[in-house]
Amino acid sequence: MHKLGKEAWVAGSIRKDQLAYLVKIEVDVICVRKAACEELDGHGRFGEVKKDIVRELIIELSNHKSRARHTTK
């Protein structure tokens, strides 16, 4: 995608354990609706988005991006 001048976006039941790989292959945008939710019975398809989970995902992504920058230089 990058060679074509396009951004690479991914979505579709992305899990936290997949973030490191997606950062490694230089995905530009990772859509994580399911990974950001606490599963609840009867509360919608994915559950409820929780800011603590979102915060953890941001930290996880930041850690992987930082490591990726250091290993490619």
CA 5 to each of CA 2, 13, 55: distance values in angstroms, whole numbers, following the listed order: 5, 26, 31
Main-chain dihedrals φ then ψ at residue 70, nearest 5 degrees: -75, -30
Tens-place pLDDT, residues 45-68: 667 889 999 999 999 888 887 776
- Please state, as a whole number, how many other Cβ atoms lie within 10 Å of the Cβ of residue 19: 20
What is the number of helices (H) and of strands (E) in the chain? 2, 4
Kind and range of the H or E run holding 30: strand 29-30
- The model's pLDDT over 2-13, given as tens digits with 9 standing for 90+, comes to 999 999 999 988
Q: What is the pTM of this model?
A: 0.69
